[in-house]
């Protein structure tokens, strides 16, 4: 079993991240998730503004 110091693992992970690209899919997923949360919050909270007299 080979012992690797944590710094070596971190630099290896950083190099792998550079080779994978910009992560466009992750950006799209995050933007859609944020918009979905905002729309859901608006839909749920808009009912509190109305008065049921």
Confidence tier at 25 by pLDDT (50, 70, 90): confident
Question: DSSP per residue over 1-53, as a string?
Answer: -----HHHHHHHHHHHHHHH---HHHHHHHHHHHHHHHHHHHHHHGGGTS---
pLDDT at res. 18? 65
Per-residue pLDDT at 1 exceeds 60: no
Overall average pLDDT of the 21-48 stretch:
90
Overall average pLDDT of the 4-17 stretch:
68
Q: How far apart are CA 53 and CA 45, in angstroms?
A: 18
Query: In whole numbers, what is the pLDDT of the chain averaged over residues?
Result: 78
This model's pTM is above 0.75: no
């Amino acid at each position: 079993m080979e012992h690797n110091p944590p710094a070596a693992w971190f630099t290896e992970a950083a190099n792998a991240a550079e080779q994978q690209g910009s992560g466009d899919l992750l950006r799209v997923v995050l933007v859609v998730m944020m918009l979905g949360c905002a729309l859901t919050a608006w839909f749920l909270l808009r009912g509190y503004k109305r008065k049921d007299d």
